[in-house]
Structure 1
Amino acid sequence: MFTAFFIGNIASGKSLATRYLASRGAWRIDLDDLAKSLYEPESEIVKELACAFGMHILDEDGCIITSELAHSAFCDSEHTELLNQIVHPHVKERLARMLVPPVCCAASGSSSSLAVVEISVPKSFVDIFDLADEVVAISAPEELRRERALSRGMQLKDFDARSQAQPSEDELCSLADYVIENADDMAGLLSAIDAWAEHHDIALKEPSDASFRLQGVQDKLGAARERA
């Protein structure tokens, strides 16, 4: 199985990239979702988070209230770093177990030839990049990412706070083995991902997601018009 880590700053398109590949048969792991799956009541990680950020981040059943945790953790870079120091070691341990056979084979299904891992905080995971065959950066200019985030309903102050805690685009790309520029539309990004997969001789299935299938039809129609 070929394993690729996809990194990117907020609103870069890395989630779209990994969802697209999942729709085409890849085994997708989102580290943000993986972290949330570890938030079991009374678990060590939940106790550490409550101690660091306050009991108000827990509901009456002892479960993490993700909105409260986000509000407390992303208020400034110091609190964000504290969150990362608590959560990331647990996530790394779980991810390493998931990617090592036979767990990876059982979890992904025997038909998967590609595993994609979505990483939002790449600098904190550099020490496990050797688990991947390749690190792929999805890069887009900050102004464009800001526009995308605001169009999705994110508040400007929230975007700026998260963006300031992330690496510059140059720093991000320096961490990667392969860079995909996402300064165009969705069709351009999906085409670039297809080219990346073809470069590695990774066979992809037809998209299972209807929106991606529709995009493929539109691309073919556009190409036909250009040839006409």
Structure 2
Amino acid sequence: MGLTGGIGSGKSEVARRLGERGAVVIDADKIAREVVEPGTDGLAEIVAAFGEGVLRADGSLDREKLGSIVFSDAARLTVLNGIVHPRVGARVQELLDDVPEGGLVVYDVPLLAENKLAPTFDTVIVVDTADEIRIRRLGENRGMSEADARARIAAQATREERLAVADFVIDNNGGLAELDRQIDEVWARLTST
């Protein structure tokens, strides 16, 4: 199933709590970071292809520097994707191979609505949160200015676009007890089928 929600909605928290209930959570963005951590063959191959200049002083990948190289050169982006995507695919397959019979897999997909991916999932869960609450959270939790938070929200799908693809909606405008109650309800419905 797919899990999505706008920036600052609490999607990652919902994913974590679904994982605590037994779901296998697959976060492709997180996996993409893992496969290029220091010491991995993924990072070594990136350095071989793009040079030492894509490393930070601590030996980790400087994503901003690499991005400035590949996003202005389609051929270089193809090289990067050829390094990262097979490793992400292999790691996702490892996770899927470990799913017990009848287990639930949750794909954490930030841009599910934007990329029109809803039809690729049997079920879509949308974490829905009012924009003003999201703006406050982004300021408190990520140190983001109100203007930056509003700009990022505006660049994503609207709440209405996300809700239009939802099979389940988790309203995350309240506290953690209310969030857990809703997750328990969705979990019960998903595991009873």
TM-score (norm. length: structure 1): 0.62
- Gaps (5+ residues) in structure 2? 37-41
Residue 65 of structure 1 corresponds to 62
Q: What aligned pairs does 1:102-181 form with structure 2 within 5 A after superposition?
A: 103-108=94-99, 110=100, 113-123=103-113, 125-127=115-117, 129-130=119-120, 132-156=121-145, 157-181=147-171
Residue 198 of structure 1 corresponds to 188
Assess if the C-alpha contact under 8 Å between 1:140 and 1:183 holds in 2. Answer: yes
Give the Cα–Cα distance (whole angstroms) in 2 for the partners of residues 45 and 28 of structure 1. Answer: 30
Cα drift, residue 139 of structure 1:
0.7
SS at 2:136 equivalent: helix
Give the Cα–Cα distance (whole angstroms) in 1 for the partners of residues 164 and 183 of structure 2. Answer: 19
Q: Which residue identity is paired with 1:58?
A: L
CA RMSD of aligned residues (A): 3.9
Give the Cα–Cα distance (whole angstroms) in 1 for the partners of residues 48 and 34 of structure 2. Answer: 11
Cα drift, residue 164 of structure 1:
2.7
Give the Cα–Cα distance (whole angstroms) in 1 for the partners of residues 48 and 160 of structure 2. Answer: 35
Give the Cα–Cα distance (whole angstroms) in 1 for the partners of residues 66 and 46 of structure 2. Answer: 19
Assess if the C-alpha contact under 8 Å between 1:136 and 1:176 holds in 2. Answer: yes
The answer to whether the aligner puts 1:183 opposite 2:177 as a matched pair is no
**Cα distance change of structure 1 residues 45 and 94 upon mapping to structure 2, 3 Å threshold:** farther
Residue 11 of structure 1 corresponds to 8
SS at 1:167 equivalent: coil
Assess if the C-alpha contact under 8 Å between 2:26 and 2:107 holds in 1. Answer: yes
The answer to whether the aligner puts 1:98 opposite 2:92 as a matched pair is yes
Assess if the C-alpha contact under 8 Å between 2:32 and 2:88 holds in 1. Answer: no
Cα drift, residue 146 of structure 1:
0.7
Q: Which residue identity is paired with 2:20?
A: S
Q: Which residue identity is paired with 1:26?
A: A
Q: Which residue identity is paired with 1:64?
A: L
Residue deviations 1:181-228, cap 9 Å, x none? 21111111111111111122359xxxxxxxxxxxxxxxxxxxxxxxxx
Give the Cα–Cα distance (whole angstroms) in 1 for the partners of residues 139 and 191 of structure 2. Answer: 37
SS at 2:127 equivalent: strand
TM-score (norm. length: structure 2): 0.71
Give the paired residue count. 180
